[in-house]
């Protein structure tokens, strides 16, 4: 029997490519000189896709072109790059990589919070620039005495909260609903949470439902001493409103791992001394990225072995078993 054909529109990590190559007929679309002609010639054979955010939007247009498609395996816990509702409408199961990156992203979130408040990157630059002998580094804001609000208390949000418990700062949260069995204070709007917080950490999924959830009003509620940390998706924050708030001094600073139009970061953001910017590295350690890649591969293998998808996204959970 011929192995199933998997389409990879943009390159994933070399270990993912190797693992899929050994098991499937893997089509590397980015290597094709005429991708459209290639897709026309091979569309009827392709039953699976392996994608990441680098592949752009995986939407109804793709599903139209690939009539035999059964599964889209996406790299990352966030899957706003895939139109899961359109996939469900075509009986295409979508998988993501939950669970294997929660602690890693939470570590990074707390690191970014401390880096932003205590100005760790700025202090590093200060030493490298040879300025220490001239004068001590200026005093920084502190985490002490701050109230932290987490927008989105999912698995990663909870991992962040557990870490913050050890830092002895009060934690509160906002989400679509109050969670039973969770002791942290709940606020039913992002504005209410921001008003009750000195640090706001965004940890909600991206997509239409959370677009600009953190807008000018929320930033104003956070206040002139307040700090925003975004390790979720750039789309969750109104980036122009954030730049305006930083310019006006109506918030105190920001630590950002994600941006509206990655990998482009507006010069305006780079100009603020109270902003720390990272190149979307929340899950980007060797071991965690390897675990994410393995889960993507395992989903495809399990699916085509007839064992069902391991980690289907909720919109396609009812399709998890191959019929
Ligand atoms: C990756 C992520 O950078 O898991 C996610 O949702 O944002 C990150 O782990 C991203 O998925 C790369 O495609």
Distance 209 CA to ligand 1 centre (A): 18
Query: Can you tell me which atom of ligand 1 is nearest the CA of 105?
Result: 9
Smallest CA-to-CA distance from 152 within 113, 116, 184 is with 184
Please work out whether the CB of residue 206 comes within 6 Å of at least one atom of ligand 1.
no
Q: What local confidence, expressed as pLDDT, does residue 152 receive?
A: 98
- Cα–Cα dist 101/291, whole Å: 8
Q: Is the distance from the beta carbon of residue 52 to the nearest atom of ligand 1 less than 6 Å?
A: yes
Positions in the chain whose pLDDT score sits under 70: none
- What residues are annotated to the active site? 233, 262, 280
Q: What local confidence, expressed as pLDDT, does residue 323 receive?
A: 72
Q: How far is the CA of 232 from the centre of ligand 1 (A)?
A: 9
Say what the pLDDT of residue 1 is. 74
| pLDDT for 265 | 98
Q: Which residue's CA is the nearest one to ligand 1's atom 11?
A: 76
Q: What is the pTM for the complete model shown?
A: 0.96
Distance CA 290, CA 303 (A): 20
Report the distance separating Cα 152 and Cα 144, nearest Å. 23
Give the angle subtended at the CA of 138 by the CAs of 137 and 141, to the nearest 5°: 125
Three-state SS at 255: strand
13, two tokens: 């990590």
For ligand 1, whether the C-beta of 51 sits within 6 Å is no
């Amino acid at each position: 029997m011929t192995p199933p054909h998997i389409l990879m529109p943009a390159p994933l990590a070399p270990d993912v490519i190797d693992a899929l190559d050994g098991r499937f007929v893997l089509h590397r679309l980015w290597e094709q000189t005429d991708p459209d002609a290639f897709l026309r010639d091979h569309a009827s054979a392709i039953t699976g896709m392996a994608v990441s955010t680098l592949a752009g939007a995986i939407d109804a247009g793709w599903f139209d072109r690939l009539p035999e498609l059964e599964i889209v395996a996406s790299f990352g816990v966030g899957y706003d790059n895939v139109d899961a509702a359109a996939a469900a409408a075509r009986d295409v199961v979508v998988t993501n990589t939950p669970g294997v990156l929660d602690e890693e992203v939470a570590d990074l979130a707390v690191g970014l919070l401390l880096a932003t408040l205590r100005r760790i990157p700025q202090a590093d630059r200060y030493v490298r620039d040879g300025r220490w002998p001239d004068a001590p580094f200026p005093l920084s804001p502190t985490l002490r005495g701050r109230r932290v609000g987490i927008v989105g208390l999912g698995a990663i949000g909870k991992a962040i909260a557990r870490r913050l418990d050890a830092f002895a700062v009060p934690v509160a949260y906002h989400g679509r609903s109050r969670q039973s069995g969770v002791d942290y204070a709940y606020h039913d709007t992002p504005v209410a949470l921001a008003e009750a917080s000195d640090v706001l950490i965004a940890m909600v999924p991206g997509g239409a439902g959370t677009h600009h959830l953190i807008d000018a009003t929320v930033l104003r509620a956070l206040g002139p001493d307040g700090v925003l940390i975004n390790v979720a998706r750039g789309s969750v924050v109104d980036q122009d409103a954030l730049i305006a708030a930083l310019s006006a001094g109506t918030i105190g600073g920001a630590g950002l791992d994600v941006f509206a139009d990655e990998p482009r970061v507006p010069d305006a953001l780079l100009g603020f001394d109270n902003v720390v910017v990272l190149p979307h590295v929340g899950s980007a350690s060797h071991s965690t990225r390897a675990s994410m890649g393995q889960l993507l591969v395992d989903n495809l293998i399990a699916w085509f072995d007839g064992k069902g998808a391991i980690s289907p996204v909720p919109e396609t959970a009812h399709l998890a078993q191959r019929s």
